[in-house]
A and B are shown apart, each in its own frame.
Chain A
Amino acid sequence: MSENNKNLGGYWQENLKLIFSLLIVWFVVSFGCGIILVDVLNEIRIGGYKLGFWFAQQGAIYTFVVLIFVYASKMKKLDQKYNGDE
C-alpha cells in the first residue's frame, strides 16, 4: 500500500507539472499574444496578416490542437512508466 502510494504520488506530481507547463503555453498564445500583446504584435506582419490578429484568429487554435496531443502522448508514456513499476 505505501509502495503504491509513493508511486501514485510521483505519478500525480509529474502529471501536475506537465499540466502546468502546457497551460502556460495555452495562456501565452491566447490571452498573451491574442489579447494583451495584440497591439505590439500587430506591428509585425506575415503576408496580409497582422501577427496579433493572426494569433487571435488562427495561431492560438493551431497551438491548442498541438497541446492536447502532446499531453496525450506524454501521459501515455507516464502511464507506462508507472505501470511498469508495479
Chain B
Amino acid sequence: MDLQTLTYIVVGATFALYIGIALWARAGTTSEFYVAGGGIHPVANGMATAADWMSAASFISMAGLIAFLGYGGSVFLMGWTGGYVLLALLLAPYLRKFGKFTVPEFIGDRFYSKTARVVAVVCLIIASVTYVIGQMKGVGVAFSRFLEVDYGTGLLVGMAIVFIYAVLGGMKGITYTQIAQYCVLIVAYTIPAIFISLTLTGNPLPQLGLGSTMVGTETFLLDRLDQVVTDLGFDHYTTTARLSHLNMFVYTASLMIGTAGLPHVIIRFFTVPKVSDARSSAGWALVFIAILYTTAPAVAAMARLNLAETIEPEPGKYLAYDERPAWFSNWEKTGLLQFEDKNGDGLIQYTADKDTNEMVKVDRDIMVLANPEIAGLPNWVIAIVAAGGLAAALSTAAGLLLAIASAISHDLLKGVFTPDISEKSELLASRISMAGAIAVAGYLGFNPPDFAAGTVALAFGLAASSIFPALMMGIFSKRVNRQGAIAGMLAGITITLLYVFQHKGIMFVQSTSFLGDMSPNWFFGIEPNAFGAIGAIVNFSVATVISRMTVEPPEEVRRLVENIRVPTGAGTALDH
C-alpha cells in the first residue's frame, strides 16, 4: 500500500476515535465543561495533562530545534520539564484546594478585585493566543506534508478539525480524548526513535543509544556527530551554548516559570478529586512527558547525523541532486526544503558557509516528520508519525481553546458583566468564544512570526511575567494586596511585551520593530524569547513595593489564604 493511502487510513482512524470519544463524553453542565466534574483519576489526569502539554512544538519542532542548536537546545528540555516541579510544589495543590473553575477566578477572589480578575483574563488571553499560533503552524506543516497540499490549505483543514473537535468537547470530552491522543503521540514518537537508535547504535533505548558507540565502530555517536558538523563548518554540537550561558540561564528560568503559569496546564489540576491527587498527578504528568523529552535529544542528534551523512556520505563526496531520495523531493514540494545548485555541478553541497551552501532552506520543523523517511523506515511508521504530530497539535489546541473560552464566558461574562447569565447561555458563550479564538489564531498562523517553538516560547514569557507571580504571591504571602497584584501584573507583562515587540515587531509584524532583532540591541545579550523571567522579577518587585505602601488585605482574604494552605481536614476545622 502506498504512503498516501496508509496515512489517510491511520490519520482518519485516529480522528474517528477522538470524535467518537468527544461525542460519548459530551459536556452537559458548566462543571463538566470547565473541570470535567472534578472526578478524574490522578494517573489519567497526568496522562491527559501530558497530551495537553506536549504540543506541536514539543512533538514537531523541539527535536528539530535541538538538532540545529545542540547543547544550546537544552533550554527547552530543562525549561519545559522543570516547570512541573514549580507547579507541583508551589501552585497545583493550593489552587485545587481553592476549588473553582478558572485561574482568573482565583486571582479575582484572592485580590478581592474584579479589576485584578480582568487583568488576569487579558494576560491569559494574550499568552494563550500566542501559544495557539504555534499549534496552528504545526498543524499546517503536518497537513501540508501528509495531504500533499500547500501550507495554507493544510492550515485551513487543521482549523476546521480543531473547530469541530474543541467546540464539541468541553473539559470532560477533552480529557478522555487527550488520553487517547497521548497514546497515539507517544507511540508515534518512540517507534521511529527506537528503530533509528537500533540501526545507528544497536541499542533499542534512544536514551542509552545517544551515549553509545556507532554500530561496528569504537566511535561514540556524539563524538562522530561533533566531528561531522564541525567538518561542515557548523558549531560544535555538544558544547555550543545558545548565545551565552547567561542567556541560557534566563531562558530556562523563563520557560520553567512560564510552564507553571500557563492557565491551560493549571486548570488540568482542578479536575482531580483531592488536594493530594493534585500533587501526585503533577508527578504522573511529568513521567509521561519525560518519556518524550528524554527521547527528543536522541532523535535530534540522530536526525542531524542522518541528514549530514545522506548529503555527504563520505568526506568530500556529495550526493547528486538527480539521485536525491524520495523524502527530499517530497519535502521540496512543501517549500520547507529548498536546494539551489549554485556552482552548477549537480551535486548537493551542504556547509555552514552562506555563499557556497546549496541547501538554502532546511526548515527545522520538518526534522521529526522527515526523520523516519531519512532513516528509511517502512511507510506505516511514517503514517503513525503523521497521526502523532496531529494528535499533539490538536490536544494542545483544544486545551488552550478551553482556557480561552472559560476565561471569556466564566470570568468576563458571568464574573463581571452579566452575573445572572443562565448556565445554558454560559455554555453557548464559551463555545462561541472558542470559535472566535480559532479564527484569530488561524489568521496569525498564516503570518507565522517565528519557528513554532519560538512562537510558543513567547507565550511562556508572558505567562511567566504575569500569571505565575500573581498566583505564587497570592498563596505564599498574606501581605500582597489588590493594588500590588494589579500593578505587578501590568508591570510584568508590559515590560515583557515591550521588549519582545521592540525587537520582533508589534504583534510580530516585522516591519514595525523599531530596534531590530539583533543581539547588540539586547539587554545583557538576552534574546526576546527569554525575557519572561526578567518580567517575573519586575512583577514580584513592583507588587511587593506597592503592597507595602498601601493598606493590608482585609481579614477574610487572610483567612482565605490560610484556608487554601491546608488540605481539606484542617481547612474545615478552621471555619468555626
Contact = CB atoms under 8 A, between A and B. Distances in A.
Interface of A: 1, 4, 7-8, 11-12, 15, 19, 22-23, 26, 30-31, 34-36, 38-39, 42, 46-50, 53-54, 56-58, 60-62, 64-65, 67-69, 71-72, 75-76, 79, 82-83, 86
Contacts of B221: 48
A54 B211 contact: yes
A71 B280 CA distance: 9
A34 B72 CA distance: 11
Contacts, number: 144
B570 A50 contact: no
Contacts of A19: 89-90
B573 A61 contact: no
A47 B210 CA distance: 9
B280 A53 contact: no
A27 to B, nearest CB: 9
Given A11-B570, A61-B290, A22 B85 contact: yes
Interface stretch (B31-39, B74-82, B117-125): B74-82
Contacts of B223: 48
B239 A50 contact: yes
Nearest to A58: B294
B42 to A, nearest CB: 9
Given A30-B78, A47-B212, A58 B297 contact: yes
A35 B248 contact: yes
Given A35-B248, A68-B85, A68-B283, 15 more contacts: A1-B574, A4-B573, A11-B565, A23-B85, A30-B256, A35-B249, A48-B221, A54-B211, A57-B74, A57-B294, A58-B210, A60-B77, A68-B89, A75-B93, A75-B276
A48 B78 contact: no
A38 B78 CA distance: 14
Given A35-B245, A56-B78, A68 B88 contact: yes
A42 B239 contact: yes
28 contacts: A4-B574, A11-B566, A22-B85, A26-B85, A30-B252, A30-B256, A35-B252, A38-B239, A47-B211, A47-B220, A48-B210, A48-B212, A54-B211, A56-B78, A57-B294, A58-B210, A60-B77, A60-B81, A61-B77, A61-B81, A61-B294, A64-B82, A68-B84, A72-B276, A72-B280, A72-B283, A75-B276, A79-B567
Contacts of B276: 72, 75-76, 79
A64 B84 contact: yes
A56 B207 CA distance: 13
B552 interface: no
Given A35-B252, A50-B238, A56-B78, A86 B573 contact: yes
B201 to A, nearest CB: 9
Contacts of A79: 276, 567, 569
B115 interface: no
Query: Top 6 nearest A-B pairs by Cβ distance?
Result: A48-B220, A56-B74, A68-B283, A47-B211, A72-B279, A57-B297
A64 B81 contact: yes
Q: Identify the interface centre among B220, B222, B238: most chain A CB within 10 Å of its CB.
A: B238
B476 to A, nearest CB: 8
Nearest to A27: B82
Nearest to A7: B570
A24 B221 CA distance: 33
Nearest to A57: B297
Nearest to B247: A35
The A interface is mostly helix, strand or loop, or mixed, namely helix
Given A11-B570, A61-B294, A68 B82 contact: no
A35 B74 CA distance: 9
Given A19-B90, A48-B211, A60-B82, A69 B280 contact: yes
Contact of A71 (B248, B279, B294, B570): B279
A51 to B, nearest CB: 11
B287 interface: yes
A71 B88 contact: yes
The B interface is mostly helix, strand or loop, or mixed, namely helix
B241 to A, nearest CB: 8
B71 interface: yes
B211 A46 contact: yes
A69 to B, nearest CB: 5
A61 B78 CA distance: 7
A65 to B, nearest CB: 5
B286 interface: yes
A43 B74 CA distance: 18
Interface string B270-305: 000000100110110011001001100100000000
B213 interface: yes
A86 B569 contact: yes
A58 to B, nearest CB: 6
B562 interface: yes
A30 B85 CA distance: 12
Contacts of B424: none
A69 B283 contact: yes
A53 B72 CA distance: 10
A62 B567 contact: no
A86 B570 contact: yes
Contact of B282 (A12, A31, A53, A68): A68
A79 B278 CA distance: 14
A86 B574 CA distance: 11
A29 to B, nearest CB: 9
Contacts of B81: 60-61, 64
A53 B74 CA distance: 8
